Amino acid sequence: MSENKPVHLAVYDTYADWETGHTTAWLARGGYEIRTVGPTPAAVRTIAGVRIQPDEVLDTLRPEDSSLLVLTGADLWDTSDDLAPFARKAREFLEAGVPVAAICGATAGLAKEGLLDDRAHTSAALFYLAATGYRGAERYVDADAVTDGGLVTAGPTEPVALAREVFRLLGVYEGEVLDAWYRLFHDSDPEAYAVLEAAGQ
């Protein structure tokens, strides 16, 4: 049994299927249990229509029981306030010193919650976050993914970069191995595979 606390993956209707697969799959291979957290006990459906039955409910999730909270993009971030409780939970995690990773629309949710006002961050584009009325524009970084303290942010086209930053933050992969993992899955670099194989990955 893993000695690591679980990683919690937020799931909700219109969840963007493709955005966290690299992160969760390789964290699981690295010894982390992945537990899904929904707004209620009811099943949700991703953008693709895939049905997910949450393992836990957001209201009962405690930072001290987790290694990381992962927030994926979803249409609901932009069309309603239904997912605001997940942004508030992210605040709770960060205040407790437990990391949070957010990609795509989830970054807008964090912006609305004020969590990007004082942290370096990225997203789909600055104008996208500016539409939230947040006050962190000066901290926006035009990069594939950004880590500031315990917060990782990434744009919607950067699921591999999101994973890279999470692995670095949690110490799952480091140095040459982390670089090779990124080159393999982002650049399809065949030489990177040999590095990973030699490292037993």
3-state helix, strand, coil in the chain (%, to 5): 40, 15, 40
> For the chain (length 201 residues), average pLDDT per consecutive 10?
85 96 96 97 97 98 98 96 97 98 98 98 97 97 97 97 98 94 94 87 75
Q: What is the pLDDT of residue 201?
A: 75
The pTM for the full model equals 0.95
DSSP state of 82: T
Quote the Cα angle for 59-114-69, to 5°.
Answer: 40
Supply the DSSP symbol for 63. Answer: G
Q: Enumerate residues 6+ apart whose C-beta is below 8 A from 200.
A: none
How far apart are the C-alpha atoms of 52 and 45, rounded to whole Å? 6
Identify the active-site residue in 10, 87, 102, 104: 104
CA distance 165 to 129: 21
Return the amino acid letter for 156. Answer: P
Give the Å distances, CA to CA, from 114 to 90, 94, 129: 11, 12, 11
Catalytic annotation present for 104: yes
